[in-house]
Structure 1
Amino acid sequence: MDIRRKLIATAVLTAFSAPSWGQQVQPSEEIEVVKVTAQKRKEDPAKVAMSISAVTGSQLQAEHVRDITDLTRVVPNISFTAASGNGGAGPGTSNVEIRGISSTAGAATVGIYLGDTPVTVGNVYTMGNIEPRFFDIDRVEVLRGPQATLYGASSMGGTIKFIPNEPDLKEREFTTYTEGSNTKGGSANFAANVVANFPLIPDELALRIGVQAQHTGGYINQVDGDGKVIANNINKISDQEFRAALKWRPTRTLTITPSVYYQRVDAKDISAFNLELPLYQAQKQVREPSIDKLLSPSVTVNWDLGEVDLTSATSYFQRKFDRTQNGSAYNSYSLSTFLTSTEDGGKAPPELIAAIAGLPSAVYLNNQVRQVSQEFRLASRPYDEKVSPWTWLAGTYFSRQHTNIIENDPIFGVTDTFKQFGFDIADPDLLPDARPGQFPNDNSFAGAFHYREKQASIFGELNYYFSPTVHATVGARYLKANTTLEQRNGNYLAGAGNNSSAETSSSAFTPKYALTWEVNPTNTVYTSVAKGFRLGGANIYVPPTTCGPDLEANGIEKGPPSYSPDSLWSYEVGSKSRFLNNRLTINADVFYVKWKNIQQGVYLPTCAYTYNANAGDATTKGFEFDIKAKPLPGLTLSASGGYVKAELSNDVGIENGVVGAVAGAQIQGVPKYNAAVNATYNFSAWERPAFVMAGMQWVGSSKGSLDPEQTDHDRPAYHTTDFSAGMTFGSYAFTVFVKNAFDTDTIIQHPQVASIVQGYRLAPRSIGVSLATKF
């Protein structure tokens, strides 16, 4: 059977809208309504004037969605880029995009929230988004379109909210989950977690606590220069999570919930391989591990004051992200290019030049981000036509974020190599501009970068009900921000070195307008207009000594000292409908976005630096749909997808040195479409609840770079298929599953890792089993 017939057969058979733990044959054939907090209050998503996808924690677990990259294949018009800037392809380096609002440079374009805690970080110096693991999650909400009014700067394309489970004041609960699988051509995977809920004082005080450990086996082998395997499955990843939350309700109207979340992601190497070698082989002189740690304590207070509700969200997060890159291809090679051969009238023997170029070099990056934030909100009571036609929400927000980055680039053995050939590494007649002390402990570059960002804003939304079925929404946020960058760098490859600081200030007014009409109790139509915004900032210093040829190729003499804010206006029309007694739901929308002054990263391939520039304007337009149906008892079908056309609308980027930034160029990292078809059939087998399911996801082609000469310029379309089946035995739920069943091996992206173009693909097929318990 050819692949097309397999795909058609899979789509016709079933396609996965996975069951929750211990799934029973439901007595109700209605489709579950998942309440959301998109507008900072819990409500039916059908009544919210925006495009929303909500995926429950039980669905995430049953569908084996392990990370954000899995999520992008099952939620319409959300995508990811495996590398931010020159960051590589590994945990903590990805960039998330929604609706074509994609940029791997500058401030983030998608807001990331863990409960009420904003954990959004910019695309700073090879760091990507924080990626909370899906542990003890009630649901994930994907809010498409600008969310600046309620969520502030950086929520230009949308916001992703990880909503954890709250402690239950009434019921004691103990759950476990274990999973084991094996990856084709790789090593074993496992996951295990335990969560307990204890009502310490019934109806007043409860504790919820849980731990999780996961291991993802690798499938990429490291080889030496002769192609001999020297290490197997190097891209394995282990992570651990811990969460504890205490819910205290001292009075009927007051609830205080302190919580803490911690995760540690330990990647032994990146998930990228050399294109010129056999599949899944990486030739490198230096391994590229990373450890990404996140700590986030918070306190949320909800106080019912009668006519209004007061919410206070106090939070802190700290991210420590230490990683190593293989810098041999540019540190060692760049140094060798400064030597002039004796064959060309210089002092350096060709053998010395070759020896220097072949030395191993590492890039050690120690990144730390700390943020404290405080938000206060006042919200009116929900709409009641007998009380008032008005509802409202108002709040203030403050945050202070510090990012510190330390970089060291040793070229191992460089001083001794010069000595072996009878030369002094500090000889300026041999090595231009050399002087003593420029290679301490063989370190060719040392840099320290300190970013500080302060934000303060006020925001609010006002709803007026012309009738119980028609209401208008007007919202706005006023934001002021200040950012500073202090940088110091030195040693030989820093050229003359640099000690400098820069400061930028921004302010923005981001309004929102919406009109909602409940045509009948099961059909809502809406239209909205909203503005999005993100901050500008200072650029890191680009040394002209090593980066001069790259800068000249881009038509500039030196790297720009700063980049400007960018903003957009979004226009959306949508409908949300339920039919057949809620056995069929159809949500659909169309959107059009005008984006001005886009922040984009300009990668300099020879010296491996990246600076940020504003690459003109763009437009994005498209649509999304989400359909769910229960046509027969026990059978649930769903289909969702989106299309987006995201293009630059002028040539301004060329003037700022962004190669390929011409009108009509497709914005990088944005698939033209994605789609998923899903189905689950629940039935009884031997008088026990059972299910079978399968699913397919398609991701369209995209551009990884504006520069048509780059290998990553053209990213192909791809698809993947998953199957699962299971049965419940009392308190135990047993499942067997297959991920990437047809072993799709398309190289979907070509990240540049320390100036080397590599390949990135989906993990090969994995087959496994899981066991869940609940007491």
Structure 2
Amino acid sequence: MKIRQKIMCSSVAAAMAVLSAPAWAQVKPSDEIEVVKVTAQKRKEDPAKVAMSITAVTGAQLQAEHVNDFTDLTRVVPNISFTAASGNGGAGPGTENIEIRGISSTAGAATVGIYLGDVSITVGNVYTMGTVEPKFFDIDRVEVLRGPQATLYGASSMGGTIKFVPNEPDLKEREFSTYGELSNTKGGSGNYAANMVANFPLIPDELALRIGVQAQHTGGYINQVDGDGKNLASNINKLSDQEMRMALKWKPIRSVTITPSVYYQKVDAKDIAAFNLDRPNYQAQKQVREPSKDTLLTPSVTVNWDLGAMDLTSATSYFERKFDRTQNGSAYNSYSLSTFLTSTDDGGKAPPELIAAIAGLPSAVYLNNQVRQVSQEFRLASRPYDAAVSPWTWLAGTYFSNQHTNIIENDPIFGVTDTFKSFGFDIADPDLLPGARPGQFPGDNSFAGAFHFREKQSSVFGEVNYYFTPTVHATVGARYLKADSTLDQRNGNYLAGAGNNSSASSSSKAFTPKYALTWEVNPTNTVYTSVAKGFRLGGNNIYVPPTTCSQDLEANGLTKGPDSYSADSLWSYEVGSKSRFLNNRLTVNADVFYVKWKNIQQGVYLPTCAYTYNANAGDATSKGFEFDIKAKPLPGLTLTASAGYVKAELSNDEGSRNGVVGAVAGAQVQGVPKYNAAFNATYNFAVFGDKSAFVMGGMQWVGASKGSLNPAQTDYQRPAYHTADFSAGMAFDRYNVSVFVKNAFDNDTVIQHPQVASIVQGYRLAPRSIGVSVAAKF
């Protein structure tokens, strides 16, 4: 509800154009709709000339819309959705997956590529991690590229790619800008945000430095209560974050530009936003709090060299993510252990009182995650098309990356040893707890695991365009990729069964072509068609203990969990048009698509032992459309409307036969709303003679979806919902002041309600918040 996509946001851009320059009080709103250039094809160009569906949102638009996170983006950009990563036991910051056009999977590799500048920060659905979520800070624009982007962006860009394009240092102009925001959430605590960005030309036209810092705090609205409803802690889902970005641009000679940069981000969440559905709104009954700290560091160096007939680009980068989090394991660690006890009711030794006491103990899952990646890309690109020079344009490159993922897990059940003693039993008694032996609960720890994933990729790629005429051209592209994956793992303690110390490896190869045809019917109307292949890597599975999970494995026809899973792929077919009318006062973009997806990577959940492994199970199809309409019918008035529809369904029963409950032909792919739509209106006008002001309102609708393939799960049916946002602002010399309200009608729809063991959790829309912001530029 905070972000408006480019097709919705020209209204905001008009407002910001009026309110963001030293002379903004005298600037009149443009009668034309703003065109935001994109780098979807690794060169800056008009999106209307690119044969793909693209949404681009400028940094000014993001700030005007009070943008914080991915979640709001998925509500207003057509055919993008989000869902919790597999095995999370409740969503929280840094645990969500982003999907585009129904290509959704909470298992295996990611289905959407994420880029920060030229740095790939894409991570897989490894264990408990979701998509890396850069904050919308000091960026020139966000580009959302729908459809497979494997040719230029590699594996995992199956559904599409999201690019965060930072602002570059300006070699000419000195600039200092600052922004502050205060708001309050209904029933919760306050929110604030503040940032400062400065640009310094150190040597005019040769060397410049850009540096910015930001701090934000989002207040909580969930209260922790005990079993009697007594309040234990208020507003537990508070979240704070800090960002820093520094970039240097150096032009030692006219033809060479060197841009080193570094981005740092830290997100500190005090708890997740889940509550208990059997409690009043926004109350969470939990024994263990679930905080997390997620840090991101991405230093990089980009070199651009104008060679005359072509451009050479080198992008060298390092990416590190540290993600430490705690899950409330009481619902499954303690409960699982209690189910293994031999009950006296069945001739065993454990009295019912002991079983109940063990099931009620608090337990935590401590997760320490780290991802490190080094990557290098080289590419050569021809000059833009010139009919007098050549009918050909081209781009060619090579890419290498080496990614390490380390995960440490410990699952203590607090007080478990003393509880056994209080009933007169030894926790290591195998007649009481089958398979138990001394030393399996060190410090009350029921499970300890260490996992090291390594993924090495190398690829070559390229695209060629041939212009039959200046208005008709064909595009042929391809990428050849090789990848090697390894997993070294150690796990032990009682819930790991007999324990494990093993290694596994796998390899993937892929050839991903792309074909497109573009016809510029006239200077303001373009039609295109494209066919492209998408791909994601296979990988290795975490060990599943055959002792404690034997019943589940046998039900799936297995004696042990599979060591690995294979790559999957898809073909996408798209037809679209991009048109501008009435001297660019009306734009209409629309497309239809059809996707065939084979050998889908899916998570197979084992309910008795609460383990999950990945398998290739089933095929799917996804089809639908997107459109956006933008108009300036009157001076100062901008109207935008956008919508998307997607029907993503499994096309056979292979998933069900492989143990994925509910994975049958016709089942709706989980986490994918059937539609979303948004409408926005902005009016810019003058007040007090020469002062500029604006009012703006927007509505967003998100359709119903399935949270699970299994109809028996509580999250199977997710409802449709809507939100509304309003704002107004005025310029005073160098200052902008605005007031805003988000979720204006305080819609509290429960949008997700997953079940974690015996507990049904709920996630509602954030309550209404009202605030004020001030911006200045010097």
Shift of the 725–294 alpha-carbon distance from structure 1 to 2, 3 Å rule, reads same
Counterpart in 2 of 1:526? 528
Residue 652 of structure 1 aligns with an amino acid whose one-letter code is: E
Aligned match for 2:748, one of 745, 748, 751:
745
CA contact (8 A) 2:11 2:638 kept: no
1:333-375 CA distance string (max 9 Å, x none): 1111222233432222222222211111110000000000000
Counterpart in 1 of 2:562? 560
Q: Secondary structure, in 3 states, of the residue corresponding to 1:544?
A: coil
Aligned match for 1:588, one of 587, 590, 599:
590
Counterpart in 2 of 1:209? 211
Counterpart in 2 of 1:725? 728
Counterpart in 2 of 1:660? 662
Q: Secondary structure, in 3 states, of the residue corresponding to 2:405?
A: strand
Counterpart in 2 of 1:309? 311
Aligned match for 2:93, one of 87, 91, 94:
91
CA contact (8 A) 2:149 2:161 kept: yes
Counterpart in 2 of 1:685? 687
CA contact (8 A) 2:213 2:242 kept: yes
Counterpart in 2 of 1:387? 389
CA contact (8 A) 1:325 1:754 kept: no
Alpha-carbon distance between aligned partners in 1 of 2:765 and 2:32, rounded to the nearest angstrom: 35
Using the TM superposition, give the Cα deviation of residue 555 of structure 1 relative to its aligned residue in structure 2, in angstroms: 5.3
Residue 591 of structure 2 aligns with an amino acid whose one-letter code is: D
Alpha-carbon distance between aligned partners in 2 of 1:546 and 1:276, rounded to the nearest angstrom: 31
1:211-245 CA distance string (max 9 Å, x none): 00011111111011111110001111100000000
Alpha-carbon distance between aligned partners in 1 of 2:713 and 2:554, rounded to the nearest angstrom: 18
What is the correspondence of 1:250-289 to structure 2 with a 5 Å cutoff? 250-289=252-291
Q: Secondary structure, in 3 states, of the residue corresponding to 2:16?
A: coil
Counterpart in 1 of 2:4? none
Aligned match for 1:759, one of 762, 765, 768:
762
Aligned match for 2:406, one of 404, 407, 418:
404
Q: Secondary structure, in 3 states, of the residue corresponding to 1:32?
A: coil
Aligned match for 1:129, one of 128, 131, 138:
131
CA contact (8 A) 1:155 1:532 kept: yes
Counterpart in 2 of 1:4? none
What is the correspondence of 1:505-520 to structure 2 with a 5 Å cutoff? 505-520=507-522
Q: Secondary structure, in 3 states, of the residue corresponding to 2:715?
A: helix
Residue 573 of structure 1 aligns with an amino acid whose one-letter code is: V
Alpha-carbon distance between aligned partners in 1 of 2:692 and 2:671, rounded to the nearest angstrom: 42
Query: Number of residues paired by the alignment?
Result: 762
Q: Secondary structure, in 3 states, of the residue corresponding to 2:62?
A: helix
Q: Secondary structure, in 3 states, of the residue corresponding to 2:548?
A: helix
Using the TM superposition, give the Cα deviation of residue 73 of structure 1 relative to its aligned residue in structure 2, in angstroms: 1.2
Counterpart in 2 of 1:103? 105
Q: Secondary structure, in 3 states, of the residue corresponding to 1:433?
A: coil
CA contact (8 A) 1:79 1:670 kept: yes
Per mean C-alpha deviation after superposition, the further-off stretch among 390-399 and 270-279 is: 270-279
Shift of the 643–536 alpha-carbon distance from structure 1 to 2, 3 Å rule, reads same
Q: Secondary structure, in 3 states, of the residue corresponding to 1:96?
A: strand
CA contact (8 A) 1:584 1:628 kept: yes
Per mean C-alpha deviation after superposition, the further-off stretch among 371-380 and 339-348 is: 339-348
Counterpart in 1 of 2:738? 735
Q: Secondary structure, in 3 states, of the residue corresponding to 2:327?
A: strand
Moved over 4 A (4+): 14-18, 552-557, 752-755
Aligned match for 2:152, one of 150, 153, 171:
150
Alpha-carbon distance between aligned partners in 2 of 1:18 and 1:183, rounded to the nearest angstrom: 28
Counterpart in 2 of 1:374? 376
Shift of the 764–85 alpha-carbon distance from structure 1 to 2, 3 Å rule, reads same
Q: Secondary structure, in 3 states, of the residue corresponding to 1:677?
A: strand
Alpha-carbon distance between aligned partners in 2 of 1:648 and 1:17, rounded to the nearest angstrom: 41
CA contact (8 A) 1:534 1:566 kept: yes
Counterpart in 1 of 2:75? 73
Using the TM superposition, give the Cα deviation of residue 321 of structure 1 relative to its aligned residue in structure 2, in angstroms: 0.3
User: In percent, how many aligned pairs have the same letter?
Assistant: 86
Residue 656 of structure 1 aligns with an amino acid whose one-letter code is: N
Aligned match for 1:19, one of 8, 15, 30:
15
Using the TM superposition, give the Cα deviation of residue 16 of structure 1 relative to its aligned residue in structure 2, in angstroms: 6.9
Q: Secondary structure, in 3 states, of the residue corresponding to 1:713?
A: coil
CA contact (8 A) 1:139 1:162 kept: yes
Q: Secondary structure, in 3 states, of the residue corresponding to 1:711?
A: coil
Using the TM superposition, give the Cα deviation of residue 319 of structure 1 relative to its aligned residue in structure 2, in angstroms: 0.3
CA contact (8 A) 2:82 2:97 kept: yes
Alpha-carbon distance between aligned partners in 2 of 1:185 and 1:549, rounded to the nearest angstrom: 46
Q: Secondary structure, in 3 states, of the residue corresponding to 1:169?
A: coil
Using the TM superposition, give the Cα deviation of residue 66 of structure 1 relative to its aligned residue in structure 2, in angstroms: 1.1
Using the TM superposition, give the Cα deviation of residue 757 of structure 1 relative to its aligned residue in structure 2, in angstroms: 3.1
Q: Secondary structure, in 3 states, of the residue corresponding to 2:353?
A: helix
Alpha-carbon distance between aligned partners in 2 of 1:199 and 1:244, rounded to the nearest angstrom: 14
Alpha-carbon distance between aligned partners in 2 of 1:396 and 1:752, rounded to the nearest angstrom: 45
Using the TM superposition, give the Cα deviation of residue 662 of structure 1 relative to its aligned residue in structure 2, in angstroms: 0.6
Counterpart in 2 of 1:458? 460
Alpha-carbon distance between aligned partners in 1 of 2:104 and 2:513, rounded to the nearest angstrom: 22
Give the aligned CA root-mean-square deviation in angstroms. Answer: 1.4
Q: Secondary structure, in 3 states, of the residue corresponding to 2:378?
A: strand
Per mean C-alpha deviation after superposition, the further-off stretch among 688-697 and 87-96 is: 87-96
CA contact (8 A) 2:84 2:130 kept: no
Using the TM superposition, give the Cα deviation of residue 306 of structure 1 relative to its aligned residue in structure 2, in angstroms: 0.3
Residue 616 of structure 2 aligns with an amino acid whose one-letter code is: N
1:637-684 CA distance string (max 9 Å, x none): 111111000011111111211111111011111110011111110001
Aligned match for 2:198, one of 196, 199, 202:
196
Alpha-carbon distance between aligned partners in 1 of 2:731 and 2:479, rounded to the nearest angstrom: 50
Counterpart in 2 of 1:11? none
Residue 374 of structure 1 aligns with an amino acid whose one-letter code is: Q
CA contact (8 A) 1:84 1:94 kept: no
Matched, 1:546 2:558: no
Matched, 1:708 2:711: yes
CA contact (8 A) 2:224 2:284 kept: yes
Alpha-carbon distance between aligned partners in 2 of 1:608 and 1:212, rounded to the nearest angstrom: 40
Using the TM superposition, give the Cα deviation of residue 432 of structure 1 relative to its aligned residue in structure 2, in angstroms: 1.3
Residue 757 of structure 1 aligns with an amino acid whose one-letter code is: V
1:101-158 CA distance string (max 9 Å, x none): 0001100000000000000000010110000000001100000000000000000000
CA contact (8 A) 1:143 1:159 kept: yes
Per mean C-alpha deviation after superposition, the further-off stretch among 554-563 and 227-236 is: 554-563
TM-score by length of 2: 0.96
Residue 19 of structure 1 aligns with an amino acid whose one-letter code is: A
Alpha-carbon distance between aligned partners in 1 of 2:262 and 2:350, rounded to the nearest angstrom: 58
Q: Secondary structure, in 3 states, of the residue corresponding to 1:356?
A: helix
Q: Secondary structure, in 3 states, of the residue corresponding to 1:262?
A: strand
Q: Secondary structure, in 3 states, of the residue corresponding to 1:570?
A: strand
Shift of the 750–557 alpha-carbon distance from structure 1 to 2, 3 Å rule, reads farther
CA contact (8 A) 1:219 1:232 kept: yes
What is the correspondence of 1:227-242 to structure 2 with a 5 Å cutoff? 227-242=229-244
CA contact (8 A) 2:713 2:754 kept: no
CA contact (8 A) 1:476 1:510 kept: yes
